[in-house]
Amino acid sequence: MFTEKQNRMQTWAAIFLIIAIAIGVAMIPQLNKYGTEVAMVAAENEFMYEKAIHILVMLLMGFGFLMVFVKKYGYTSITATFLVVALSLPLYMLIRPYLWGTSADIAITNISMLLFAEFAAASLLIAIGGPLGRINTSQYLLIGLLFTPVYAVNEWILFSGSVIPAGAFLDTAGSVMIHAFGAYFAFGMIIMLTTKKERTTSVETSKTSNEFAMLGSAALWIFWPSFCAALVPVNQIPLVAINTILALCGSTLSTYVFSVLIRGKIEIADIANASLAGGVAIGATVANVTPGWSMLIGLVAGMISVVGYTIIQPRLQKATGGVDTCGVHNLHGMTGVLGGLIAVGLVVSPLWQMAGVIITVIFAVVMGILVGFVTSRLGRKETPYDDKEEFCVSE
Amino acid sequence: MFTEKQNRMQTWAAIFLIIAIAIGVAMIPQLNKYGTEVAMVAAENEFMYEKAIHILVMLLMGFGFLMVFVKKYGYTSITATFLVVALSLPLYMLIRPYLWGTSADIAITNISMLLFAEFAAASLLIAIGGPLGRINTSQYLLIGLLFTPVYAVNEWILFSGSVIPAGAFLDTAGSVMIHAFGAYFAFGMIIMLTTKKERTTSVETSKTSNEFAMLGSAALWIFWPSFCAALVPVNQIPLVAINTILALCGSTLSTYVFSVLIRGKIEIADIANASLAGGVAIGATVANVTPGWSMLIGLVAGMISVVGYTIIQPRLQKATGGVDTCGVHNLHGMTGVLGGLIAVGLVVSPLWQMAGVIITVIFAVVMGILVGFVTSRLGRKETPYDDKEEFCVSE
Amino acid sequence: MFTEKQNRMQTWAAIFLIIAIAIGVAMIPQLNKYGTEVAMVAAENEFMYEKAIHILVMLLMGFGFLMVFVKKYGYTSITATFLVVALSLPLYMLIRPYLWGTSADIAITNISMLLFAEFAAASLLIAIGGPLGRINTSQYLLIGLLFTPVYAVNEWILFSGSVIPAGAFLDTAGSVMIHAFGAYFAFGMIIMLTTKKERTTSVETSKTSNEFAMLGSAALWIFWPSFCAALVPVNQIPLVAINTILALCGSTLSTYVFSVLIRGKIEIADIANASLAGGVAIGATVANVTPGWSMLIGLVAGMISVVGYTIIQPRLQKATGGVDTCGVHNLHGMTGVLGGLIAVGLVVSPLWQMAGVIITVIFAVVMGILVGFVTSRLGRKETPYDDKEEFCVSE
């Protein structure tokens, strides 16, 4: 009744069902362990709650629809988004308490724990943007399964105080921890997950698929201030929000300018992606700079991102052989590192700041190569970019 | 100048204009009656305000675009959504104060009143998902007009304390009151509103219409925690939010798994709908279980919902003759009842809990049949699923 | 390598880059000047923060996608939205402190400043809806550059107390200041920006483009309560929110009714636009009327707006020669003035209220004509409504 390929898909689906049940069961005792010992005051939790919902918009509607730009791959893009979010949120919440953190942060009765999990999911969504369209749904889930603990370890390196001294690494909204890590993880994966044929196959888009991508982009733009302000003290939220918005204004304007200057026409994919570069780059120092500087950082970030899409990406692809479907290296990689390096000028110990950036990039690339290799063992799609592979598609 | 059919449409439009004016006029004295006597503290209102806006997203963008999946019926789906929301919110706010409730809950100066009205609108949107595509806009409005008071009466049965003792029925976020009621109301209506021809006409979808449906689904997923946490005490919001999210993670994963296991391919309509089943099923007990259990409840709910779409719905349609366009029985009906029954194990008086579920289902079906009959008297569409019937459509 | 037309586009892009850098640099000292002197309490800022994010949804997703209804112009509509928002937010925040206001309102450390800037951006987005599709991206940016200070001056006239006495003009949520100003500015511009050929070219739409417009409309509907409640005292938010929602319910219902009564069929563009008329008209008096009256005001506003689209717009176009692509005069112009005039019956000095409305309309039209003239000097598009002009479009 089912083909061999379908049987394989079903076997993997059953495996992931067992994993999901195991996560649920393993979580049962967790409330007692990390429960009500220290609960944040209601208002604090409530303010973070709003941010947590806003970040959910970024995850499912933002990243999800931004990846719908691949014409014949919309169903898979959005389904993969749903699946990796649904896997990584509980997985992170299960493992994080065993790694580090005070119960004031990671108790399941505080929204902060949810926010940490959402950051992990965001970084994962960035990571799958690299090999997007060239793996199947089981492989997205496998990547999610392997990425999440690795991400948690990198977070532990940067912020637990066990490796880098506590407070020495400045990365308020995750330029490095979330964006650069996800992008360089993708960088590693695609080296292992690109076939020769794919290097010559360009991504097909359509008017409607690009408009959905712009919708995803708008969702990310709009709720980015909540991403940056999620974990800052309440009295810093206004400055952080305004800095974030001005950085995004800056990158939006310079994206347009450099798209026009370099290409002679506007590329809608530049607008959808590079407009957000200001949000990525401002992440590390968003609570430490003033609005004017935020706008200038955004202007630079947008420029770098467009230069990435137009000039750097083709060369990098030739050099490494890896095809970066969404260009996550342009949007999250270089600008994330930029954000981390801007902080070098603002921290007490510039060397630790540099070290944090370098460790993250290397760790991400190495782990990405490893995970990419493991993932490639599950087989490769024959035809890239087509929903027909795994979905019931009528036409 | 106008055809006879258009004249009928205009007559009904004029009738609904008069009804709308009557509602507005009847509300004028209401502020004085249910006004400033007891006002919630500003912060409490403000926290509920955010939830109220989030639920509006679910109503207009969530339910609205989830129903856009019918290919040639997008204009009508979204317009019907706008219309029934615009009718039921003021209608509920007008009649509810005459039924029951303290002024602390139902004063127009407290957001809680708006939340109750939004729940009614949500249940109504579930209900119209059943006959979607087979009635005209006047009939959606007529259903809205008749459904709203019936829903308010069922709410009164469950929670006013006049029938079931106060506090005896556990349904924190409306698994039974909102979801099961709406779905079984639809169940009743479609028995009266399905013609022979429609039983053999399958719903036509398209890539774009399904992607809009996924957008609606994402909107529902994202803001579901606010739906569940809208009326719980502020200190319970974190647990309720995390439980809701984990239930949704569970149902999203099991939807994928069972779609693959049963069909051998992924059906995008499963992902769009059954992924949300965890939110429905967790509703009753969301403030009474722990995160691990929430994930497991979600996993079960997703499975049941996919089984509903693939196996139960075709049989049920053969048995009752009613065509359930959106499959609301699979997403909101069975899983809503499941949610209500899970609570049986957690409440002081399991019999009252059972009674509440049974009363709701029977009352909903009977009233649905009645309203379906009345609605069918306004005539039936000749060709199902086409915007051309009532909209200016160029092509 | 590049055509002459592309060179011109690149020159203008470079000019706007310099302007953006200048804004960023000019803002650097601003934090010190308008900084931490008087900071709002954290909770107050936090409540306004949520509204500020909601209004961002309205700007980028709401107005942006509402303008995607022009079939072959979706890329430009959404890009123009991004660009004018990205330009006007920092520009307004730069110039406003030099005009008027206490540091409690306009300090960069208070969210209120961001809200004022967002209102300016909203009014600007209304304004570009008039000539939409008949100018190029440089011209959208030029309009943004010129509009923002003019808007700030009108705001100063109405509310600084220097012209109209402080408190004498009632316009809580900007029926006049935001909506009527933007619409009559558009009214002025299009007189200067319409060619003969354009008067006979009708706007082409498609099923998908109209569905995106409905998505934009839904985003505006949903978050409109936050637009109206952004700057009211916290204890007034519940009433303001409920009044706004009831006004929108009223206009949604009457839009349907009058679309059917006048056209004999439903026009989806009516639903997308006129449904929002209640939000526009209630703006001025939203904190001063009761829910019943709000619904009635909404019913009237929806009717006026549909009459505008069906009967007034064609005549106005013939009389003035200006083509109003989005029909902003119908949605924001007449209903904004209506809102301002309703307040005449509620204020202490009806004459000042009248004066505020009249001054705003005249000032907007005159400035619109001026800016339209300047904009027309940059040249005119040869073929209206096509993304191909400036974007990389494959098909």
DSSP annotation string for A116-160: HHHHHHHHHHHHHTTTTTSS-HHHHHHHHHHHHHHHHHHHHHHHS
Best to test chain C binding among A41, A45, A204, A249 (most C CBs inside 10 Å) = A249
Check residue B31 and give its pLDDT.
63
User: Under a CB-based contact definition with an 8 Å cutoff, are residues A57 and A223 in contact?
Assistant: yes
Across the interface, which of B45, B57, B89 has its CB nearest the CB of C237? B45
pLDDT digits (tens, 9 = 90+) for B326-346: 999 999 999 999 999 999 999
Instruction: Collect all residues of chain B within an 8 Å Cβ-Cβ radius of residue C208.
Output: 208
Q: What is the ipTM of this complex?
A: 0.97
Distance CA A38, CA A17 (A): 33
A296 touches chain C (CB under 8 A): yes
Alpha-carbon Rg for chain B in angstroms:
20
Contact assignment for B83 to C249 by CB distance below 8 Å: no
Residue contact B264–A21, C-beta within 8 A: no
| Nearest neighbour of A268 by CB, restricted to C6, C108, C391 | C391
- Could you identify the residue written with the tokens 């013939």? C318
Q: For chain C, which chains pass the contact test of at least 3 CB pairs under 8 Å?
A: A, B
Question: Is the CB of A296 less than 8 angstroms away from the CB of C21?
Answer: yes
Q: Cβ A245–C26 below 8 Å, yes or no?
A: no
Q: Is B151 exposed, middle or buried (0-12, 13-18, 19+ CB in 10 A)?
A: buried
Three-point CA angle A238, A243, A246, nearest 5°: 125
* pLDDT single digits (tens) C181-228: 999 999 999 999 998 888 888 899 999 999 999 999 999 999 999 999
Look-up of token digits 């979801």? B179
Judged by DSSP in three states, A315 sits in helix
Sequence letter at residue A37: E
User: C193: distance to nearest CA of chain A, Å?
Assistant: 23
Other CB atoms within 10 A of residue B288 CB? 18
Report the gap between the CA of A377 and the closest CA in chain B (Å): 21
Q: Tell me, what's the pLDDT at B85? A: 98
C307-310: which pairs have CB atoms within 8 A and are 24 or more residues apart? C307/C258, C307/C262, C308/C274, C308/C333, C308/C334, C309/C267, C309/C269, C309/C270, C309/C273, C309/C274, C310/C258, C310/C259, C310/C262, C310/C263, C310/C270
- Helical residues (DSSP H) of A67-109, grouped into ranges: 74-99, 103-106
Tell me if chain B has a CB within 8 Å of the CB of A22.
no
- pLDDT category of residue C38 using cuts at 50, 70 and 90: low
CA distance A81 to chain B (A): 10
The reported pLDDT for the residue numbered B145 is 98
pLDDT digits (tens, 9 = 90+) for B240-270: 999 999 999 999 999 999 999 999 999 999 9
Residues A120 and A92 sit within 8 Å (Cβ to Cβ): yes
Strand-pairing partners, residue A266, are: C391
Q: Is A307 on the interface with C (CB under 8 A)?
A: no
| % of chain C at pLDDT higher than 90 | 87
pLDDT by residue (tens digit) across A357-391? 999 999 999 999 999 999 999 988 778 889 999 99
Instruction: Specify whether the CB–CB gap between A54 and C53 falls below 8 A.
Output: yes
C330-366: per-residue pLDDT in tens?
999 999 999 999 999 999 999 999 999 999 999 999 9
Among C21, C30, C56, select the one facing A299 at the smallest CB separation: C21
Token pair recorded at residue B2 = 């106008």
Query: Which residue in B137, B22, B114 sits closest to C299, CA to CA?
Result: B22
Residue C124 — φ and ψ, nearest 5°?
-65, -40
Contact C381, C389 (CB under 8 A): yes
- Residue C272 is predicted with a pLDDT of 98
| Average pLDDT of the residues of chain A | 94
Q: What is the mean pLDDT of residues A234-257?
A: 96
User: Does the pLDDT value for residue B82 go beyond 60?
Assistant: yes
Contact B229, A229 (CB under 8 A): no
Per 3-state DSSP, chain B is made up of helix, strand and coil in percentages (nearest 5) of 75, 0, 25
**DSSP code of C391?**
B
Measured distance CA(C336)–CA(C174) in Å, rounded: 8
Residue A395: band (very low, low, confident or very high) from pLDDT cuts 50, 70, 90: low
Whole-number pLDDT of residue C31: 63
Q: How many helices (H) and strands (E) does chain B have?
A: 19, 0
Residue type, A1: M
Note whether A290 contacts C: Cβ–Cβ < 8 A: yes
